[in-house]
Amino acid sequence: MKNLLIKRDDALVLAVDYQERLIPAMHDADDLIKSSERFIKGARVLGIPCVVTQQYTKGLGPTVAPIADALGDFEPLEKSSFNILLTEGCRKAIEDTGRKTVILIGIEAHICIQQTALALLEEGYEVVILSDCVSSRSKGNKKTAEARMAKAGAVITSYEAALFEFMGTSGDPDFKEISKIIK
């Protein structure tokens, strides 16, 4: 049976292509960066591993500074495929975590996020899309992608909902620190 609650000890974050030459073209780019930065910081506090990708770094640039700063020490995985599982190093990084719930954030919702989500679902992973942490160049492409991914079995939620779901209670030892991050 599919898990209905997102389990902190089974989750990993897959941060997709937050790159310098892509971000400015995204719909609501400023909100995307703010939400993603807060979520990544919260995930780090909670000990949730993060896999980071970059598409054709030579042409599209590195991960933008606010996201890179939130990630701390990270080594981005270079890819050229839209479906991240088609890049062997990326697939291995996901598998090596031993976790089966993938929290997808990044861009673009209707391309890399969608193709990866569908492939992960086909392989039996639980997939969670944080709506306020994904974007496309147009709002319509994002909306259509989220509908398709939800119909396929992905959970669509928000970064705050996910962080509080990971904790489950205000008695969680990380509650105060997470509360500070989201304010």
Cβ atoms of 84 and 14 within 8 Å: the answer is yes
Does 183 have pLDDT greater than 90?
A: no
Q: What per-residue confidence (pLDDT) applies to 124?
A: 95
Q: Supply the residues annotated as catalytic.
A: 17, 79, 112
Q: Is the pLDDT of residue 22 over 60?
A: yes
User: Domains along the chain?
Assistant: 8-182 (3.40.50.850)
User: Quick one: pLDDT band at residue 90, thresholds 50, 70, 90?
Assistant: very high
pLDDT at 33 over 90: yes
Tokens of 21: 């030459």
pLDDT at position 5 is: 85
- Per-residue pLDDT at 1 exceeds 50: no
pLDDT digits (tens, 9 = 90+) for 132-163: 999 999 999 999 999 999 999 999 999 999 99
**Confidence category of residue 66, pLDDT binned at 50, 70, 90:** very high
pLDDT at 58: 94
State how far the Cα of 177 lies from the Cα of 173, in Å rounded to an integer. Answer: 9
